[in-house]
Chains A and B, each alone.
Chain A
Amino acid sequence: MSYLEYSVKHVPTGLRKILHLNWPLTILLASVAGVGFLMLYSVAGGSFTPWAEPQMKRFALGLVLMIAVGMVPIWMWRNLAGVAYVGTVLLLLGVEFFGSVGMGAQRWIELGSFRLQPSELMKITLVMMLAAYYDWLPAKRTSRPIWVLIPIIMVLVPTFLVLKQPDLGTAILLLFAGGGLIFLAGVHWAYFAVVITAGVGLVTAVFQSRGTPWQLLKDYQFRRIDTFIDPSTDPLGAGYHITQSKIALGSGGWTGRGFMQGTQSRLNFLPEKHTDFIFTTLAEEFGFIGGFSLLGLYTLILVFCVAAALINKDRFSSLLTLGIALNFFLFFAVNMSMVMGLAPVVGVPLPLVSYGGSAMLVLLLAFGLVQSAHVHRPR
């Protein structure tokens, strides 16, 4: 069913739309953000500055943006998908040439006072693009090679650009999100079998390339993988992050050391305690119960998204919602795996909790799209 087919008159209009927002989802998002404020307050040593207060302001701004995006009819967003995708790819090319270098990577463009990270935006526009593509593509063509190749290129072009920055974490997220969406769209199993086989081959190639002139990853990325496999080999060097993070996490125990009582994060043992490693502070101060509760909140967000996607009869809306949910899942799954020593340190923030404006705004924009899809679903 396409938008041209269903009756718009059942769709709420004007400010009435606000009543039809996915409120449980909104409340869940706010709760997670609230956990974030609490932790930022704690790692700053019981102070709203320098992190908690700006984060709250940005969340408020993000919330307004989300609702604003949610009020815009979903078909408008579908029609903009192509433009948004091409625009973001161009921005990615832009950072390649004009971007600022931070932490050894070109990642953002300065737009006046606003610092834009196109790779963040890319996660959403890619999902939009793919959702729009599969909405347009007749079902019987879905698995035809030529029609499979097109979305693969759509995924690989930004992935490659992000990898060039170099931002391995985001590149992997893009790859998985894109792949997930292609899978959701119903592409034949065989393709995935081929891709997985090829992926294994690629990983082998990457490792084989080490030390040769054409090596595919930077040395530090190789080292990160090495220390991931065995962090104890370099406890004060490259493996330091993971070791310290595990100590902080483990010392939390069942109930944690209490709010603002975490020693590891407070005493600077933890690197990037307010950004990528904020989960360790939470787990240290609130223990297993705290960590598990946050995981529960994330799960609920996913459940609400998937439920919203499944009751939505519009294909674009469903795909978009699922894609954004998948993205969200990848975010926190990679971050939590990382701090728990299950994945290499790749620099992925914990969604809605880690300090960082760009990521939070982009995420709330994405949830704005989910809201829009929910509000304007065919009834």
Chain B
Amino acid sequence: MRRSRAETETNHAKLSRRAALLGGVQLLFMGGLAARMNYLQVDQADQYLLLAEENRINIRLIPPARGEIFDRNGVQLAQNSPSYRIVMVREDAGDVDDVMHRLAKVIKLDPEARDRAIAEVKAAERFLPVTVADNVSWDDLSRVSVNAPALPGISPEVGLTRVYPRGSDFAHIVGRVGRVSQADLDAQETPDAVLRIPRFQIGRINVEAREEALLRGAAGTKQVEVNATGRVMRELSRREGQSGADLQLTIDSQLQNYVQARLGDESAAVVIIDCENGDLIANASAPSYDPNLFIGGISSADYNPMLESKYRPLVNKTVQGNYPPGSTYKMVVAMAALEEGIVGPDETVYCPGHLEVGGRRFHCWKRAGHGWIDLENSLKQSCDVYYYDLALKVGIEKISAMARQLGLGIRHELPLSSVSAGLAPTKAWKQEMRGANWVIGDTVNASIGQGFTLASPLQLAVMTARLATNRMVIPRLIKSIDGVEQPSGGGEPLGMNENNLRKIHKGMHVVVNDRRGTAYRSRIIAEDMRMAGKTGTSQVRNITSAERARGVSRNEDLPWERRDHALFVAFAPSDKPRYAVSVLVEHGGGGSTAAAPIARDVMLQALYGGEPPLDAYPTADRGRISAQQEKLREVQPQATIKGKDQA
């Protein structure tokens, strides 16, 4: 079809107009794009640059090495040991099931653990290492390395884990660590970032928990470049963290081992304190348990027996235990009376075997009575009536004030879990806590460490040390932190009358060293190491009148949990006190038979700084003691240290 030139011209003109229009719109749009580019890249550049850096650089924490714990002689009690584990990276492994089945043939891996590991690997990001076997032995690790070509994606890794080489000896002192739980994180307002490291260990109980702040250290950081999927591309910079402080305890691990072995499976507690500086050189609670079992999770097969045992191995009886102190409390009453000048040391009291107070009859342990008796003999023979009489004269307030002065009824600051305050009762206390008036019978009961009175073996040891030295001995467990010696617990002078104190010392001396003393059988015959002490037998039940009519039932005839607690406190040498010791045997029967022999053995061990010569013991005992020493020499702490034994 032919077209006129004119029509063609108008068409072209129209096209040009519209093309110009459309071109203009396009230019406008491109101007808009340029403006947007300008906005993003020039106006907002700083903000986006910042976002980009956040995108790119990820800060990873390097777990700090936990501070180690040593005994007073530098023996390691808690250490960080390399633990070997086997990790798998899914993207390198290819067929996860296949590789895991092959791995299970190379190392011992039960089917349940294997299937769990397969599931975990499959659930994780494909480039992240997942632990498939923890705490593997060196042998297993070697086997994995040798078989590496057949195990793609599998690699061994070394981490640090807490190990307690002295195991059960220090479970009640050093304590243990455990993995951080969600509950731990929730409990803190702003949890330390280091806690978010997977498998990070924090102190759970005792020194590990109470000195967590010192032991933990500060996390280091490394900056890594990551991509959007979180994969680490390379490490940019690294700032090493601060390892935790090393702690040195006042405990002598050799002595501690002996004491723990001496107690064996008995439900008992022993505290040995240095009279001069308050150092706890042994602090044993039996039975104990192996804290290593708890690292990385304890099996219920191991844990349930501990929970259910009537001997309560998980309880630290030295500081958590609250026991009626029994006759060991008599020094407190005597000292209160002497200091008040209410009774002279040579004043005598008549003991007919009982005392009638407020229409109620309070018996002496010796039904026939002790007759006329003075302070020294009252301690030696542990006459109860003498102290009933004294307590009635002095009054409960003065007695309890003296108790607190001697370290009873107050909480001692120690880095141990659940340190109990015990109880030195007062009238106000009873009114407040029990809503009842103090009655005269309460005072009588308190005078022999029964009734409301409660003390822990630690408090009794402190009491003994304070009585021995006339100083306010403060128990100390941490000797030094990172080599810096901690203040001594020697304490200020208590300012008690030396003459009065000498009377008490004399009384305690004859308890052990006089033929008629209650602990004569547990005496030390080495002349310069004579021990002074006091037995205690605390009732855990009321003696009914029916029982009394039959004659006081023998402890051996009662079921274990109804027997009396046996106690003994002592210091030695009696003329120049060096160590104070307290022994408690739960439901052990009499203090003289169950507790005093232990006290002598551990005291001698402490005084000699090792196994004492047999001639420190009375001749008659030497054969038996020799056999006992023979046996105890073999006893090693329980310490299951995984992965190390085969190394």
Q: Which residues of A contact B (CB under 8 A)?
A: 1-2, 4-5, 136, 138-139, 180, 183-186, 244, 246-254, 263-264, 267-270, 283, 287-288, 291-292, 295, 298-299, 302, 306, 309-310, 313, 315, 318-319, 322, 326, 329, 333, 336-337, 340-342
The interface residues of chain B lying within 8 Å CB-to-CB of A340 are 33, 36-37, 40
Determine, out of B21-29, B72-80, B195-203, the stretch whose residues face the partner at the interface.
B21-29
- Please give the distance in Å from A362's CB to the nearest CB on chain B: 21
If A315-B11, A318-B12, A342-B36 touch, whether A249 touches B18 (CB-CB below 8 Å) is no
- CB-based contact A184/B55 at 8 Å: no
The verdict on B3 contacting chain A, using a C-beta distance below 8 Å, is yes
* Cα-based distance from A253 to B51 in the complex (angstroms): 13
- Please give the distance in Å from A113's CB to the nearest CB on chain B: 30
- CB-based contact B226/A299 at 8 Å: no
* Cα-based distance from A250 to B29 in the complex (angstroms): 20
11 contacts between A and B (CB under 8 A): A138-B1, A184-B18, A249-B48, A250-B47, A254-B41, A267-B56, A268-B227, A270-B228, A298-B30, A306-B19, A336-B33
- Please give the distance in Å from B232's CB to the nearest CB on chain A: 11
The interface residues of chain A lying within 8 Å CB-to-CB of B45 are 250-254
The verdict on B190 contacting chain A, using a C-beta distance below 8 Å, is no
- CB-based contact B29/A184 at 8 Å: no
Closest-by-CB residue of B relative to A340 is B36
The verdict on B298 contacting chain A, using a C-beta distance below 8 Å, is no
- Which chain B residues (1-27) contact chain A, with CB distance < 8 Å? 1-3, 5, 7-8, 10-12, 14-16, 18-19, 22-23, 26-27
If A1-B3, A183-B22 touch, whether A333 touches B30 (CB-CB below 8 Å) is yes
The interface residues of chain A lying within 8 Å CB-to-CB of B3 are 1-2, 5, 138
- CB-based contact B18/A283 at 8 Å: no
- CB-based contact B12/A313 at 8 Å: yes
Closest 9 CB pairs of A and B: A250-B48, A251-B52, A267-B227, A268-B227, A253-B45, A288-B41, A269-B228, A251-B49, A186-B14
Closest-by-CB residue of B relative to A252 is B41
- CB-based contact A247/B12 at 8 Å: no
- CB-based contact B55/A269 at 8 Å: yes
* Cα-based distance from A283 to B49 in the complex (angstroms): 13
* Cα-based distance from A199 to B36 in the complex (angstroms): 26
If A251-B51, A336-B33 touch, whether A183 touches B41 (CB-CB below 8 Å) is no
- CB-based contact A333/B40 at 8 Å: no
Closest-by-CB residue of A relative to B36 is A340
- CB-based contact A333/B41 at 8 Å: no
* Cα-based distance from A309 to B19 in the complex (angstroms): 9
The interface residues of chain B lying within 8 Å CB-to-CB of A306 are 19, 23
| Cβ contact of A264, chosen from B10, B47, B55, B226, cutoff 8 A | B55
- Please give the distance in Å from A277's CB to the nearest CB on chain B: 13
The interface residues of chain A lying within 8 Å CB-to-CB of B2 are 2, 4-5
* Cα-based distance from A254 to B43 in the complex (angstroms): 10
If A252-B41, A264-B56, A329-B26 touch, whether A1 touches B19 (CB-CB below 8 Å) is no
- CB-based contact A310/B47 at 8 Å: no
* Cα-based distance from A299 to B33 in the complex (angstroms): 12
If A139-B11, A319-B15, A322-B22 touch, whether A291 touches B41 (CB-CB below 8 Å) is yes
Closest-by-CB residue of A relative to B52 is A251
| Cβ contact of A295, chosen from B30, B49, B229, cutoff 8 A | B30
- CB-based contact A299/B48 at 8 Å: no
B146-180 CB mask vs A (1 if < 8 Å, else 0) is 00000000000000000000000000000000000
| Cβ contact of B8, chosen from A1, A4, A136, A326, cutoff 8 A | A1
If A249-B48, A250-B49 touch, whether A333 touches B37 (CB-CB below 8 Å) is no
- CB-based contact B5/A254 at 8 Å: no
* Cα-based distance from A303 to B14 in the complex (angstroms): 18
- Please give the distance in Å from A128's CB to the nearest CB on chain B: 17
The interface residues of chain B lying within 8 Å CB-to-CB of A287 are 41
Q: How many residues of B contact A (CB 8 A)?
A: 44
* Cα-based distance from A299 to B29 in the complex (angstroms): 11
- CB-based contact A267/B225 at 8 Å: yes
The interface residues of chain A lying within 8 Å CB-to-CB of B41 are 249-250, 252-254, 283, 287-288, 291
The verdict on B233 contacting chain A, using a C-beta distance below 8 Å, is yes
The interface residues of chain A lying within 8 Å CB-to-CB of B228 are 244, 267-270
The interface residues of chain B lying within 8 Å CB-to-CB of A5 are 2-3
- Please give the distance in Å from A326's CB to the nearest CB on chain B: 7
* Cα-based distance from A180 to B45 in the complex (angstroms): 36
The verdict on B607 contacting chain A, using a C-beta distance below 8 Å, is no
Closest-by-CB residue of A relative to B226 is A267
The interface residues of chain B lying within 8 Å CB-to-CB of A254 are 41-42, 45
If A2-B2, A184-B22 touch, whether A247 touches B15 (CB-CB below 8 Å) is no
Closest-by-CB residue of B relative to A289 is B41
- CB-based contact B16/A267 at 8 Å: no
The interface residues of chain A lying within 8 Å CB-to-CB of B29 are 329, 333
The verdict on B625 contacting chain A, using a C-beta distance below 8 Å, is no
The interface residues of chain A lying within 8 Å CB-to-CB of B48 are 246-251
- Please give the distance in Å from B223's CB to the nearest CB on chain A: 13
- Identify which of A250, A318, A333, A342 gathers the most chain B CB atoms within 10 Å of its CB: A250
- CB-based contact B26/A302 at 8 Å: yes
The interface residues of chain B lying within 8 Å CB-to-CB of A247 are 48, 51-52, 55
- Please give the distance in Å from A144's CB to the nearest CB on chain B: 16
| Cβ contact of B49, chosen from A1, A183, A253, cutoff 8 A | A253
The verdict on B142 contacting chain A, using a C-beta distance below 8 Å, is no
The verdict on B38 contacting chain A, using a C-beta distance below 8 Å, is yes
The interface residues of chain B lying within 8 Å CB-to-CB of A333 are 26, 29-30, 33
* Cα-based distance from A291 to B228 in the complex (angstroms): 24
- CB-based contact B18/A139 at 8 Å: no
The interface residues of chain B lying within 8 Å CB-to-CB of A329 are 26, 29
The interface residues of chain A lying within 8 Å CB-to-CB of B36 are 337, 340, 342
B624-636 CB mask vs A (1 if < 8 Å, else 0) is 0000000000000
B208-234 CB mask vs A (1 if < 8 Å, else 0) is 000000000000000001111100010
- Please give the distance in Å from B179's CB to the nearest CB on chain A: 29
Closest-by-CB residue of B relative to A309 is B19
* Cα-based distance from A186 to B14 in the complex (angstroms): 7
* Cα-based distance from A326 to B29 in the complex (angstroms): 12
The interface residues of chain A lying within 8 Å CB-to-CB of B5 are 1
- CB-based contact A310/B19 at 8 Å: yes
Closest-by-CB residue of B relative to A139 is B11
- Please give the distance in Å from A49's CB to the nearest CB on chain B: 20
- Identify which of A136, A252, A313 gathers the most chain B CB atoms within 10 Å of its CB: A252
The verdict on B486 contacting chain A, using a C-beta distance below 8 Å, is no
- Please give the distance in Å from B27's CB to the nearest CB on chain A: 7
Closest-by-CB residue of B relative to A255 is B41
Q: A246-B40, A250-B48, A250-B49 are in contact. List 8 more A-B contacts (CB 8 A).
A: A247-B51, A249-B48, A253-B45, A267-B56, A267-B226, A309-B19, A315-B11, A333-B26
The interface residues of chain A lying within 8 Å CB-to-CB of B555 are none
- CB-based contact A139/B10 at 8 Å: yes
| Cβ contact of B229, chosen from A1, A139, A268, A288, cutoff 8 A | A268
The interface residues of chain A lying within 8 Å CB-to-CB of B47 are 250
Closest-by-CB residue of B relative to A321 is B19
If A184-B22, A333-B30 touch, whether A263 touches B52 (CB-CB below 8 Å) is yes
The verdict on B34 contacting chain A, using a C-beta distance below 8 Å, is yes
If A2-B2, A252-B45 touch, whether A186 touches B15 (CB-CB below 8 Å) is yes
* Cα-based distance from A270 to B227 in the complex (angstroms): 9
Closest-by-CB residue of A relative to B17 is A186
- CB-based contact B15/A184 at 8 Å: yes
- Please give the distance in Å from A131's CB to the nearest CB on chain B: 11
* Cα-based distance from A224 to B228 in the complex (angstroms): 21
The verdict on B145 contacting chain A, using a C-beta distance below 8 Å, is no
* Cα-based distance from A270 to B15 in the complex (angstroms): 42
If A251-B52, A313-B12 touch, whether A322 touches B44 (CB-CB below 8 Å) is no
The interface residues of chain B lying within 8 Å CB-to-CB of A267 are 55-56, 225-228, 233
- Please give the distance in Å from A365's CB to the nearest CB on chain B: 22
* Cα-based distance from A319 to B55 in the complex (angstroms): 48
* Cα-based distance from A99 to B642 in the complex (angstroms): 61
If A250-B49, A253-B42, A269-B227 touch, whether A288 touches B37 (CB-CB below 8 Å) is yes
